[in-house]
Amino acid sequence: MPSTNPAKEYDARIRRAAHLASIHPFAQEVLTFYQRVVEFQRKSGEKLFKDILRQHNGQTSESFLNDDNLKAMLPRFIEFLRLVAESGPSSLAFSAKERLLEPTHIPAESLQNYWNAARTADDPDSAFQQFFPRAFLQPLAESVPADELAQSVTPEESGNDNMASGSRCPICGARPLLGVLRQEGDAGKRFLLCSFCMKEWDYRRILCPTCGEVAEAKLPIYVAEQFPYVRMEACETCKFYLRTIDLTKDGNAVPVVDDLAAIPLSLWANEQNYSRAQPNLLGT
């Protein structure tokens, strides 16, 4: 299972992104930018969010985004927008520049709305609009104790019974970002990795997390020679796929980072008319 030390997790992501950028030129721009994002997240986790967690005194996780904390977060959020405006891919940089011109209450509302509800939305196309609050708040979600984070989302609030059936994050209600295969006995056990709080939970191997299909014949698995440890677990019933990082084949992989680098697999999936239920942070 992943380290419970967020700082070590961020360091591992940065190192892995640098390594993958050196061997996959086509992903270099994405991974270089991602390193900057993670460096920012690491600093936020060490300073801003650590102070908020220290002060909340066991209140519900909604209290993490009360008026005082939102006010404290805004300067740091503006700093994040400037980072993206200066070094992000063109589409994100343009969006960041537009957001920098907005009245201050609008960024605050976007953070509040995402924390409370947007992460449970069922619209995959909203991933681009969610990038800024998702990337900024992720260190807080990763740091909040699981039992406290769970207080902010219930199956009824998620608007989807998938949370109750196990394909939503049992902690925060977000969609799974990835599957992860970890060695257990003589085989690999599948876990799902949350797209927001980055917690993992175990999940059946032969089961589509999007529509619940269980017929093995309708759940093909594709593996490309270029990425032998990355499985494209598709579903012919709903035409969605889950990308799964097989750590039994490459124990050095850092799932959230290796996913970003697998750009050719996304292009192939689009050509085959498969969609991704939950895009990654940068839509690769």
Least confident piece of the model among 164-168, 188-192, 218-222: 164-168
- Tell me what pLDDT residue 161 has: 45
- Tell me what pLDDT residue 155 has: 44
Q: pLDDT digit string (tens) for 40-99?
A: 999 988 888 888 877 776 666 666 778 888 888 999 999 999 999 999 999 999 999 999
User: Is the confidence at residue 157, as pLDDT, over 50?
Assistant: no
The Cα-based distances of 120 to 38, 155, 156, 168, 176 in angstroms read 23, 10, 11, 9, 11
- Domain-by-domain residue ranges, the chain? 6-155, 161-276
Phi, psi of 9 (to 5 degrees): -60, -45
Closest CA to 164 of 212, 123, 215: 212
Q: Predicted confidence band at 160 (pLDDT cuts at 50, 70, 90)?
A: very low
User: Is the confidence at residue 151, as pLDDT, over 90?
Assistant: no
- Quote the CA–CA distance of 169 and 193 in Å, as a whole number: 8
What CATH superfamily is the domain 161-276? FdhE-like domain (3.90.1670.10)
Over residues 248-271, mean pLDDT: 96
Name, in order, each residue with C-beta under 8 angstroms of 258's C-beta and a sequence gap of 6 or more.
16, 20, 227, 229, 230, 245, 250
- Higher-pLDDT residue of 283 and 15 is 15
- DSSP string for residues in 166-232: TSS-TTT-PPEEEEEEEEETTEEEEEEEESSS--EEE--SS--TTT----GGG--EEEETTEEEEEE
User: Is the confidence at residue 103, as pLDDT, over 80?
Assistant: yes
CA 14, 11, 119, 193 torsion-angle sign = positive
pLDDT over 90, % of the chain: 60
- Tell me what pLDDT residue 90 has: 93
Q: pLDDT digit string (tens) for 183-213?
A: 888 778 999 999 999 999 999 999 999 999 9
What are the structure tokens assigned to 196, written together? Answer: 């927001």
Cβ-contact 178, 161 below 8 angstroms: no
- Average pLDDT value for the chain: 87
